[in-house]
């Protein structure tokens, strides 16, 4: 988390915007982090209350920044754009954090959509991540080495080309700068000449002692640069060079070496997957191995891959070896054969280029290739028009060309939803007597088409038989491309027949065959289908991974239809996750291409728009769109999908009570007919029936339907329908007064949702829980733990310790659970701000009285085995007389269990409690105050004497939860009080130490003066003796010996090697001893 987002910390350039000044940055944690500081104008209001900084606090700062932008240049924007951006800023700055955008991705998507900005280029996003990912470990190691450097020493940073030396030095310069260190940074690639940059950086400091000089590109240092750096080293600078140790040694002084560690394999694999999501795990591993742990080389490999489809290690090795297109094939194949080869591999962009160059080919072959290319690119209607340019009657009466034409027409008709026509042509393409490999391949592809059509028409068993038989023949043919097509079709049929486990195995086998065949189009399509399956199974992280891979491979292969389908599915996933702004942006982009979409894609787009409207509260529009979606599927002959859309419409209409229940019932009856043989939508059918019955107040029929929906959802493993059914049944049971059963269903629904959320990446969990229905399940469950009743009873609820007077309180009558929780959190924040024990206990007592509408309240704490009354208050917030039933308080503190009674005088448990009868107590609620170590530290006691405490039973769970929160606040107050006491003692001790230090300094000053006087006398005596006898054991008073003594004096205190030369017997050892004794 940046911690201080504001305009002053954003640098805008042509390449984009950069966040700077991370001095207040905090680690991202799900529970939030403690802020290091804040700028009041851009800080979220909850930070002022002492709460932790979270993503939503950063969203507030972004909203405030956007507001500044609108105030500064909003006049230049079109009014609708400015209005939309203003709405985004308002939401981002909402006082309630839960009402803000759940992620930066969401607010970014909303801004891009409102301002008409293009989506972030994926390559650009990877480039932004490249200098950041994986550099932390090396940077920390080098920082530690720099911290232990002595002044005037040198570090040589070494590594192979592309190992990330320059990136590491940039990171180092930024980190040291943030820490406020003196840094001179000379970059290798900059507009200023290297030597001029060196002079400019070093010239900024009058004293170079301790300055850290970071010099990139110092492999070949010219003589002037060496002299300047050597001088800086001698002046005490710490030199860090990207160079060979030999060059570093030429500067003089001690030289250390820092070898750049290899990039971590996990970090490298993450970078590759961001850049090329379609690469399989084995190919990612191959790229990482070829990069040899060098970020620069890794980046070069990724750039070599570019936008081409890669399906094998040979593809990567070919590109790295020659840089030639991986589609180039040797041999004597003709142009049309090469086009067919590229089409077989799903490389449609390359095939299109080759097809334009073809000349002299057979017209029918050329037409078939052109139609196949158009179909692969998603131009289905154009492909069919191309095929129909040849009349069926003019085709050869038999043979491979005729069957290929029939198969191509069948595929086009299938995409257009003309199932009867597609089936007729597909069957004509089948030749069960074929023996030649090419003819068998066409037959098996046609049978795959027949099997798919059978499944789409509801004959799942027939489709499975047809495709299983075809799969056996495809394996025998040993053509991996054909085998992948047949297995992919089989997997779709199994999925539509609710055999999800078998479907997954078939999809995975189809993907393996497609990769072995090098068929990029089939790989993209299979990854797309695996994403759909993962979504059904509730594995959203896996679904997202497959979708990104499908989109990436579809774009690389030029497979437009697969790419558009994947984008639709990605929008669906975004809607499910709660990324509504991103989904809206994606759907708007697809809607612009609506005319180019195949009919089934158009129907799916309408369905996505309906679901988005339902999730964002536009229920009437959602119901209309679901009906339109159903009608479109009906026109395509896809009755099952039509029934599903209409049932979704019934559900949303019934929940929001829009429309006529009679119409809903008819829609359900029609859906039952369409879904008679299907099991995948059985849970949805029963759930819709239950919702309609609930609206009609037929509780028994609604309960029966919900029970059946839950059984169907569990049998199918459909987690989404499990929690939705449990949530619906919980609401029904609550209305029927069966609170315990309703709570059980709500708890199970929350458990299912939490199971789904735990499998998500942590940055998506916040978004996941932002969905209104999921948030409501979570909040209602928390509310049920806090209140034994399903509704909140009326009563005053004050937020201030001194505000119990008339007009100062607010009631919680019939407040929604979320609003009530908000008030409880406000109380907790108020308690957390009070650090004095007695005022804190007064507030605790006042809130407890208000919560249960008691007349008096007391806080009793246990101390050394005795009960100590700390606070006694009445409803007006005034001090009350200090009499209470000590028997009840003693029992609660002794047992740790709460005691509650509405009529204490008639309660047999209290017959022997003299204090109850003496004080004429009517109702009592006394709950333990448990310390953090789980011991009972005291009791919170409330009572009435003139009327029964009508809310005591209903609010007991809330009162206990409140007592637990009060215990934390009390413990904090104790700790703060102890700290303050210790601080006072420490201050007193420090003052005494200061006095002692002053006295000691005075004594030491006197002694130092005496010592200096004695040292001067000693030096004078030495000088006299040296003049008469010699120096440090050396004897002689001649001029030459005195020069030796002076030289020894100069070097004796220096931390440098000393070389003593001379002939044998001249006294070299005596001079060495003199230097040693003198130093």
DSSP 982-1042: HHHHHHHHHHHHHHHHHHHHHHHHHHHHHHHHHHHHHHHHHHHHHHHTEETTEE--SHHHH
Question: 26 and 35 in contact (C-beta within 8 Å)?
Answer: yes
The alpha carbon of 179 is separated from its chain's Cα centroid by a whole number of angstroms, namely: 28
What is the arithmetic mean of pLDDT over 616-631?
Answer: 91
Selected residue with higher pLDDT from 575 and 948: 575
pLDDT band at 792 (very low <50, low <70, confident <90, very high): very low
* The dihedral sign for the CA sequence 502, 507, 510, 512: negative
Higher pLDDT residue, 16 or 598?
598
Q: What is the CATH number of the domain that holds 734?
A: 1.25.40.10
pLDDT band at 219 (very low <50, low <70, confident <90, very high): confident
Q: In terms of DSSP H, where are the helices of 116-191?
A: 122-129, 136-147, 165-178
Asked if pLDDT for residue 99 goes beyond 80, the answer is yes
Is residue 513 scored above 80 in pLDDT? Answer: yes
pLDDT tens digits for 10-29?
Answer: 877 666 777 767 667 777 77
Look up tokens 């959320």; give the residue.
757
| Mean pLDDT across 554-567 | 82
Query: What pLDDT does residue 707 have?
Result: 93
Is 681 domain-assigned? yes
The confidence band for 360, taking pLDDT boundaries of 50, 70 and 90, is confident
Q: Are 849 and 766 found together in one domain?
A: no
Instruction: Say what the pLDDT of residue 155 is.
Output: 92
Range in 568-582, 682-696, 1005-1019 the model is least confident about: 1005-1019
Band (pLDDT 50/70/90 cuts) for residue 820 is low
Mean pLDDT, rounded, for 703-720: 89
Rounded average pLDDT over 692-711: 91
Read off the pLDDT of each residue in 780-802 and give the average, rounded to a whole number. Answer: 38
Q: What is the mean pLDDT of residues 116-131?
A: 58
Residues 63 and 198 both lie in one domain: no
Do 957 and 999 reside in the same domain of the chain? Answer: no
CATH number of 234's domain:
3.40.50.300
In this structure, the number of other CB atoms found within 10 A of the CB of residue 690 comes to 27
Distance separating alpha carbons of residues 363 and 344, to the nearest angstrom: 19
Q: Alpha-carbon dihedral of residues 667, 668, 671, 677, nearest 10 degrees?
A: -170
550 lies in a domain? no
Does residue 248 share a domain with residue 276?
Answer: no
| H or E element, residue 860 | strand 856-863
Residue 562 lies in a domain: no
597 vs 60: which has the higher pLDDT? 60
The reply to whether 95 and 31 lie within a common domain is: yes
Q: If pLDDT is split at 50, 70 and 90, which confidence band does 941 have? A: very high
Greater pLDDT, 133 or 285: 285
Q: Is the model's pLDDT at 846 over the cut of 60?
A: yes
Mean pLDDT of 1037-1042: 78
Mean pLDDT of 93-117: 87
Residue 881 belongs to domain with CATH number: 3.30.450.40
Confidence of residue 1022 (pLDDT cuts 50, 70, 90): low
* Higher pLDDT among residues 156 and 122, named by residue: 156
- In this predicted structure, the answer to whether residue 339 has a pLDDT above a threshold of 90 is no
* pLDDT exceeds cutoff 50 at 333: no
Does 809 share its domain with 853? yes
Closest alpha carbon to 577 in 844, 712, 761: 761
Q: Which of 488, 459, 486 is nearest to 472 (CA)?
A: 486
Q: What is the mean predicted confidence (pLDDT) over 985-1007? A: 87
Q: Provide the pLDDT for residue 1024.
A: 59
**Share above pLDDT 70 across residues of the chain, in percent, rounded to a whole number:** 89
pLDDT at residue 14, as a whole number: 67
| Cα separation, 149 vs 255, whole angstroms | 10
Residue 1012 domain flag: yes
- Based on the fold, state whether residues 812 and 945 are members of the same structural domain: yes
Q: What is the pLDDT of residue 165?
A: 84
Q: Check pLDDT > 60 for residue 831.
A: yes
Domain contains 176? yes
pLDDT in tens, 868-897: 888 788 766 666 666 788 888 888 888 888
Same domain, 973 and 1002: no
At 877 the pLDDT is: 60
Residue whose tokens read 């190691």 = 141
State whether 882 and 816 are in the same domain.
yes
pLDDT the model gives residue 816: 44
451 versus 397: which is more confidently predicted?
A: 451
Q: What is the mean pLDDT of residues 234-253?
A: 89
Name the maximum alpha-carbon separation found in the chain.
132
Q: Which residue has the higher pLDDT, 778 or 192?
A: 778
Residue 759 CA to residue 946 CA, distance in Å, equals: 55
> Is the pLDDT score of 1033 beyond 80?
no
pLDDT for residue 192 is more than 80: no
pLDDT tens per residue across span 262-271: 888 888 888 8
**77 within domain boundaries:** yes
pLDDT confidence band for 905 (50 / 70 / 90): confident
Please report which confidence band the pLDDT of residue 1047 belongs to, taking 50, 70 and 90 as the band edges: confident
pLDDT at 468 over 90: yes
| pLDDT at residue number 672 | 86
Tell whether 177 is covered by a domain. yes
- Provide the pLDDT for residue 483: 92
Distances (CA, A) of 740 to 628, 772, 778, 852: 41, 24, 17, 22
Q: What is the pLDDT of residue 805?
A: 30
Least confident of 5-9, 727-731, 882-886: 882-886
Same domain for 821 and 939? yes
Cα separation of 217 and 200, whole Å? Answer: 17
pLDDT, average across residues 864-868: 80
Beta bridge partners of 1031: 1034
Q: Is the pLDDT of residue 179 over 90?
A: no
Q: What is the arithmetic mean of pLDDT over 181-189?
A: 82
Mean per-residue pLDDT of the chain: 82
Contacts of 42 (CB under 8 A, 6+ apart): 4, 5, 6, 60, 61, 64, 65
Q: Are 524 and 546 in contact (CB under 8 A)?
A: no
* Domain of residue 301, residue span: 265-321
pLDDT band at 491 (very low <50, low <70, confident <90, very high): very high
Angle at 805 between CA 803 and CA 809, to 5 degrees: 65
Asked if residue 565 has pLDDT above 90, the reply is no
Confidence category of residue 509, pLDDT binned at 50, 70, 90:
very high
91 or 360, which is more confident: 91
Higher-pLDDT residue of 68, 785: 68
Please indicate, yes or no, whether residues 1002 and 1068 belong to a single structural domain of this protein. no
Confidence at residue 448, expressed as pLDDT on a 0 to 100 scale: 93
Residues 973, 850, single domain; the answer is yes
Does residue 537 register a pLDDT over 90? Answer: no
Q: Quote the pLDDT of residue 1030.
A: 62
Q: Of 34-43, 914-923, 1013-1022, where does mean pLDDT reach its minimum?
A: 1013-1022
The per-residue pLDDT for range 28-81, each reduced to its tens digit, is 776 677 777 788 889 898 888 778 888 889 999 999 999 999 988 878 888 899
| pLDDT on residue 331 | 41
For residue 706, name the pLDDT band (cuts at 50, 70, 90). Answer: very high
pLDDT at 588: 87
Domain total for the chain? Answer: 7
pLDDT of residue 240: 92
Of 34-38, 343-347, 796-800, minimum mean pLDDT range: 796-800
613 located within any domain: no
Q: E-strand spans in 142-237? A: 154-158, 183-186, 212-215
């Amino acid at each position: 988390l940046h911690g201080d987002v504001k305009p002053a910390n954003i640098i805008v350039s042509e390449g984009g915007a950069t966040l700077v000044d991370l001095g207040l940055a905090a680690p991202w944690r799900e529970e939030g982090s403690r802020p290091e500081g804040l700028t009041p104008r851009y800080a979220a209001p909850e930070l002022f209350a002492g709460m932790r900084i979270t993503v939503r606090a950063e969203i507030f700062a972004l909203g405030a920044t956007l507001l500044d932008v609108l105030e500064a240049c909003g006049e230049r924007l079109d009014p609708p754009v400015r209005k939309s951006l203003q709405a985004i800023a308002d939401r981002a700055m909402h006082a309630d954090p839960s009402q803000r955008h759940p992620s930066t991705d969401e607010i970014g998507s909303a801004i891009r959509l409102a301002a008409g900005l293009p989506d972030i280029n994926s390559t650009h996003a990877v480039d932004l991540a490249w200098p950041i990912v994986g550099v932390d470990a090396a940077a920390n190691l080098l920082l530690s080495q720099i911290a232990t450097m002595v002044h005037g020493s040198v570090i040589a940073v070494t590594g192979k080309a592309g190992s990330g030396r320059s990136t590491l030095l940039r990171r180092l310069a930024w980190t040291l700068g943030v820490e406020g260190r003196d840094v001179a940074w000379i970059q290798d690639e900059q507009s200023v000449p290297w030597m001029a940059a060196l002079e400019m950086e070093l010239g900024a400091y009058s004293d170079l002692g301790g300055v850290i000089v970071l010099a990139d590109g110092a492999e070949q240092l010219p003589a002037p640069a060496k002299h300047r750096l050597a001088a800086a080293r001698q002046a005490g600078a710490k030199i860090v060079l990207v160079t060979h140790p030999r060059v570093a040694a030429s500067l003089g002084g001690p030289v250390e070496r820092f070898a750049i560690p290899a990039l971590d394999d996990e970090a490298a694999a993450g970078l590759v997957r961001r850049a090329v999501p379609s690469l399989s795990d084995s190919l990612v591993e191959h790229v990482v191995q070829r990069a040899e742990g060098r970020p620069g080389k890794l980046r070069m490999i990724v750039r070599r891959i570019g936008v081409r489809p890669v399906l094998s290690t040979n593809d990567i090795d070919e590109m790295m070896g020659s840089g030639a297109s991986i589609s180039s094939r040797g041999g004597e194949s003709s142009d049309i054969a090469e086009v067919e080869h590229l089409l077989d591999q799903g490389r449609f962009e390359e095939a299109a280029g080759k097809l334009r160059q073809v000349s002299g080919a057979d017209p029918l072959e050329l037409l078939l290739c052109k139609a196949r290319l158009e179909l692969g690119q998603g131009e289905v209607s154009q492909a069919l028009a191309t095929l129909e340019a040849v009349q069926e009657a003019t085709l050869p009466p038999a043979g491979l060309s005729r069957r290929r034409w029939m198969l191509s027409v069948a595929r086009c008709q299938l995409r257009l939803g003309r199932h009867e026509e597609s089936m007729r042509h597909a069957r004509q393409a089948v030749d069960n007597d074929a023996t030649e490999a090419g003819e068998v391949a066409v037959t098996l592809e046609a049978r795959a088409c027949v099997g798919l059509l059978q499944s789409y028409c509801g004959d799942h068993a027939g489709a499975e038989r047809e495709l299983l038989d075809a799969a056996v023949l495809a394996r025998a043919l040993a053509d991996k491309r054909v085998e992948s097509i047949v297995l992919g079709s089989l997997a779709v049929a199994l999925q539509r027949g609710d055999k999800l486990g078998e479907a997954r195995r078939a999809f995975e086998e189809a993907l393996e065959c497609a990769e072995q065949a090098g068929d990029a189009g089939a790989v993209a399509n299979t990854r797309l289908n695996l994403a759909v399956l993962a979504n059904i199974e509730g594995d959203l992280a896996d679904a997202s991974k497959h979708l990104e891979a499908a989109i990436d491979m579809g774009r690389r292969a030029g497979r437009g239809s697969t790419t558009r389908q994947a984008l639709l599915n990605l929008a669906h996933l975004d809607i499910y996750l709660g990324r509504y702004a991103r989904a809206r942006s994606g759907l708007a982009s697809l809607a612009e291409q609506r005319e180019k979409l195949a009919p089934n894609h158009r129907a799916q787009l309408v369905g996505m728009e309906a679901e988005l409207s339902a999730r964002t509260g536009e229920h009437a529009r959602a119901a209309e769109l679901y009906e339109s979606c159903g009608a479109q599927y009906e026109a395509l002959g896809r009755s099952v999908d039509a029934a599903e859309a209409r049932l979704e419409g019934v559900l949303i209409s019934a929940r929001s009570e829009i429309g006529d229940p009679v119409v809903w019932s008819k829609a359900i009856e029609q859906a039952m007919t369409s879904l008679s043989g299907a099991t995948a939508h059985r849970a949805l059918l029963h759930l819709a029936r239950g919702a309609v019955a609930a609206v009609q107040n037929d509780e028994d029929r609604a309960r029966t339907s919900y029970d059946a929906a839950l059984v169907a959802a569990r049998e199918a493993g459909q987690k989404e329908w499990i929690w939705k059914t449990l949530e619906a049944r919980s609401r029904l049971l609550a209305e029927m007064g069966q609170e315990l059963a309703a709570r059980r269903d709500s708890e199970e629904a929350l458990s299912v949702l939490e199971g789904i959320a735990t499998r998500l990446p942590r940055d998506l969990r916040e978004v996941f829980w932002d969905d209104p229905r999921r948030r409501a399940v979570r909040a209602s469950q928390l509310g049920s733990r806090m209140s034994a009743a399903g509704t909140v009873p009326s009563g005053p609820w004050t937020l201030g310790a001194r505000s119990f007077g008339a007009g100062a309180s607010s009631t919680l009558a019939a407040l929604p659970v979320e609003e009530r929780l908000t008030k409880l959190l406000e109380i907790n924040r108020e308690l957390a701000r009070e650090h004095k024990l007695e005022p804190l206990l007064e507030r605790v007592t006042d809130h407890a009285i208000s919560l249960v509408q008691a007349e008096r309240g007391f806080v009793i704490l246990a101390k050394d085995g005795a009960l100590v009354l700390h606070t006694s208050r009445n409803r007006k917030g005034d001090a009350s007389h200090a009499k209470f039933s000590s028997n009840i308080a003693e029992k609660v503190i002794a047992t740790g269990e709460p005691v509650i009674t509405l009529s204490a005088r008639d309660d047999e448990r209290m017959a022997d409690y003299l204090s109850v009868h003496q004080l004429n107590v009517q109702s009592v609620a006394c709950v333990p105050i448990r310390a953090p170590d789980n011991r009972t530290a005291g009791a919170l006691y409330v009572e009435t004497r003139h009327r029964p405490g009508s809310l005591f039973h209903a609010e007991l769970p809330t009162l206990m939860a409140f007592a637990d929160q009060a215990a934390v606040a009390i413990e904090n107050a104790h700790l703060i009080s102890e700290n303050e006491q210790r601080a006072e003692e420490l201050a007193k001790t420090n003052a005494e130490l200061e006095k002692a230090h002053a006295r000691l300094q005075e004594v030491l000053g006197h002694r130092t003066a005496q010592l200096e006087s004695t040292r001067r006398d000693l030096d004078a005596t030495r000088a006299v003796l040296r003049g008469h006898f010699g120096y440090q054991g050396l004897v002689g008073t001649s001029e030459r010996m005195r020069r030796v003594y002076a030289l020894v004096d100069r070097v004796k205190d220096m931390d440098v090697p000393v070389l003593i030369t001379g002939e044998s017997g001249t006294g070299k050892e005596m001079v060495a001893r003199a230097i040693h004794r003198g130093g």
